[in-house]
Amino acid sequence: MKQHESIFGERPSGRHMVAGQTIEAKSVAGKLLLLIVVLLMCIGVVVVYSSGAGWAQRKFSNPEYFLWRQVFYTFLGVVTVILFSSVDYQIFRKLSKVLFFVSIVLLAGLLFFKFIGVVKGAARWIHLGPFSFQVSDFAKYALIFHFARLITDKKGFIKDLNESYYPLLTLLLTVVALIAFAPNFSTASLVAIIGFTMMFLGGVRLKHLLVTAVPLIPLAGLFAIAQPYRVARLLSFFNGGDEQQLSYQVRQALIGLGNGGLFGLGIGESKQRELFLPLSYNDFVFVIIGEEFGFIGAVAVLVLFSAFFVCGLIIAKNAADGFGRFVALGITITIVLYAFINIAVASHVLPTTGVPLPFISYGGTALLFNSLGVGILVNISRRRKNDGRLPSDPDMRGGFG
């Protein structure tokens, strides 16, 4: 019996249908990801201005100081997304070893300058004239690129202890230790989570990870309580049943979230931003969202980051190669993890840490590096399998049009 033909002629094979569905799914995910990021950036501009105007007036005698800087960095962020969505992500595979080495040198250099007294306080930033950037943000992405390369290269023996796990673990712990001694314990902890998650998803034996966690978790706990300010944060969190034992920031954050109710007080009507809540335009920006836009606004932000996570997973699942898959996973996990931690801290679900809300909190370094990550995700979503070039078919490209 003659096989039924489609209205376009030849009956498409299952392989072609799956390939078409894969490209379409990646294209839709890439476009939706762009929309989500633009929405988050727009929210960031509005909320940073609303929450930071009073602080900017007192500190810089200009209520629009934070606004225009945030607009500038947002513009650079959009340019970064567009630029890296057009740059072949395979270049990061070729450069991963160099980028990782540079990140180690920068982290170690900051610690050295701190040791000899050139850098006072936390050794986290490199200042280049009027600009500065946080080295841990660079190191975090360098680690993602290098881990994605190594996990892909070691795919055939990823479960081997000596040939695979120990080299990966050594690299990860080197970065984590350098960041932790800056000191930046919260970022070091998050980088460790990102690295171990990538190893787990890459196929490293779970028992190897668990055996490593047994000594590392107590050591991390000892390191966490080595500084009085971290002990105070932990005590205020675990004594949360007694309102008087809560830290000042946590009390004001909870008051702000409570003030918002269901629909919020309205843009610019926050009561906490002016005198009560420090860093309302940065670490605690989610509180201002909850206060001015209410429960509905807070949930909307959660939905946007959840949708970002789903889009990232779709892009990773349908990536053209293993390196693209693990880069996409690493970037997605990083951005969503930072968002979850920031929101959890603002809601008193986790102890206070200095973690910004991606694309929304005031600041340039994190925004630009996360924009770079989004651009790479979009580039991965535009790549066909078994194709060394970007697709020429406009329906397959998933571009900006």
18 falls within a domain: no
Q: What is the pLDDT of residue 127?
A: 74
Tally of domains within the chain:
1
In whole angstroms, what separates CA 305 from the centre of its chain?
Answer: 11
14 falls within a domain: no
Q: What is the pTM of this model?
A: 0.87
Torsion of CA 69, 72, 74, 75, to 10 degrees: 170
82 falls within a domain: yes
Residue 19, both tokens: 């390939």
Residue 347, both tokens: 């809601």
Distance, in Å, from the CA atom of 208 to the CA atom of 159, rounded to the nearest integer, reads 9
CB 198 within 8 A of CB 326: yes
Please report the sign of the dihedral spanned by the C-alpha atoms of residue 282, residue 287, residue 292, residue 295.
positive
Distance, in Å, from the CA atom of 337 to the CA atom of 193, rounded to the nearest integer, reads 9
Tell me the pLDDT of the chain (401 aa) as tens digits: 444 433 334 444 445 445 556 667 777 899 999 999 999 999 999 999 988 887 788 888 888 888 999 999 999 999 999 999 999 999 999 999 999 999 999 999 999 988 888 877 677 778 776 677 889 999 999 999 999 999 999 999 999 999 999 999 999 999 999 999 888 888 999 999 999 999 999 999 999 999 999 998 888 888 777 777 677 777 766 665 445 445 677 777 888 888 888 888 888 778 777 667 777 778 889 999 999 999 999 999 999 999 999 999 999 999 999 999 999 999 999 999 999 999 998 888 888 787 899 999 998 889 999 999 999 999 999 886 655 444 433 333 333 22
DSSP letter string, 234-288: HHHHHTTTSGGGS-HHHHHHHHHHHHHTTT-S-TT--SSTTTT-TTTTTTTHHHH
Distance, in Å, from the CA atom of 320 to the CA atom of 26, rounded to the nearest integer, reads 10
7 falls within a domain: no
Residue of 190, 335, 357 lying closest to 282 (CA atoms): 357
Distance, in Å, from the CA atom of 220 to the CA atom of 384, rounded to the nearest integer, reads 42
DSSP letter string, 43-87: HHHHHHHHHHHHHHHHHHS-TTHHHHHHHHHHHHHHHHHHHHHSS
Q: Is 32 exposed, middle or buried (0-12, 13-18, 19+ CB in 10 A)?
A: middle
344 falls within a domain: yes
401 falls within a domain: no
Q: What is the pLDDT of residue 329?
A: 97
5 falls within a domain: no
Q: What is the pLDDT of residue 239?
A: 66
Range(s) of the domain holding residue 82: 25-385
Q: What is the pLDDT of residue 165?
A: 94
